[in-house]
Structure 1
Amino acid sequence: MAESSKEWNISFAGCGFLMAYYCGVYSCLFERAPFLLKGVKKICGASSGALMGAILASKSCENLLEMSREARKGTLGAVHPSFDLLKIVRNFLNHDLPEDAHLLASGRLFVSLTRVSDGTNVLVSEFDSKEDLIQALICSCFYPLYFATLFKVFSRFQRYVDGALSDNMPFSGLRNTITISPFSGESDISPYGSPFYFHDIYYNNVSIHINFINAHRVVIAFFPPEPEVLAEMCQNGYKDAFLFLKENGE
């Protein structure tokens, strides 16, 4: 993709523990096409995709691997009663995001939320403080039935849950949006799809091939795998992003 003055967006699909894939994508873009990251107008995401949008500058997968190790301590992984994933995510954000993260994110980061009262999608892009930003990200990751508590409340005095339930890839319909997903499908950067897939579905704006490999990825999204598997996902993200750049003239 040649550098130009044209405006563009980047949108990350929600994908749970498959977020390690995004670390590889980021590493490739940072090394080979940094202008794509520096010049992006809107960074959009739902659930773990929103987390990736918020930590674009972290340049590291180390804490994701640590999260996986913590999740695997319980017999049932992340759904074990002794495991508090939201607490781990909050600690990660508090540690990795700078104190002025809300200023850097306002007007640039668009977090997808689902309003509990009517199921409507809400995109939040203005944040009053670092805590306000973190709370929005926590809400966007809150998948009902996966966590012990019922709802998380954002600062607008509304109840919200996982943004992936209403719009899993914000601004994906715009031609100038680079869509990124760890599921094989029609996203701009995604794993190469097997020719042996049964059908294509759209899960709240994310194209997903129905095949056995994607079915396995769904399981990994909810149940964290070994750190070695996460590292492999990171490598695959790098390779797929490199292929995207090559096909688009970079």
Structure 2
Amino acid sequence: HVILSTFGNCGHCPECEDGHPGNCRNGGMGGLTQPYREGDQLLYNFANIGAFVQETIVNENQCIPIPKEMPLASASLIGCGVITGTGAVFNRAKVQIGDSVVVIGAGGVGLNVIQAADLVGASQIIAIDRVAEKESLAREFGATDFILSEGEEFDSVAAVKELLPLGANHSFEVVGHTGLLSNAINMTRPGGNICAVGVPDLTATVTYGFQSLHQNKQLMGIRAGGAKPRKDFPMLADLYMRGRLKLDEMISNTAGLDGIQAAFDAMKIGTEARTVLLPHG
């Protein structure tokens, strides 16, 4: 059994050999292939995988072995949402014991930021979401506090400062909203990290006050958790098998491929964590 990695990296360029496959100059985001054909038209595979199918074509180095005992529905979460959230904590922000963390967005990726921060011993983990139903799941995954963002005029920065007057050591924007990224900068204490995990329209721009970032803060772009899939995926699978990583709890529903639209609709509403699509029903 394997988990598929979205990194179509070459394995030979300086970035790959330096241990940063997500920065590969010959693969990844810049090297998408067209392994499929419909008639005479060549088709791309989204994110180097094209996962909403029963069969796909990938490179050998995208196949990461996992224990056969691991349930495939749970394992399927690791390759995208889980590594994006946990990797942001482990690989990029490098959250330490006793640090404070703010997570904007408590969906599938945000829950993994929360549980990774809990795993490394963060002292306070504040989850922010606009859906009240997310609170119980956020707390189950390790959040110590939950802020309900009610309406466009809600001042989430002030709400965080009530709990952390100096701001957080690490703020994670997981929604993919440029305005929220600006808020994350203002929620972060001097010397802290602002982690841009969510992905907005790739043409989007972010506006922020210079002074809000000037205080020795680090603004980090994070793609796929800064992952090293052949190292990170087995580690996450092992944590799950030893009962230390929550994956089963993330699965709100399962469906066949004919349920894909309903899964997207549920994701937009925001009341569930993840629907896992089972290619063979």
TM-score of the two chains, using structure 2 as the length reference: 0.30
Greater relative contact order (Cα < 8 A, sep 6+): 1
Q: Which one has the largest radius of gyration?
A: 2
TM-score of the two chains, using structure 1 as the length reference: 0.33
Structure having the higher helix fraction is 1
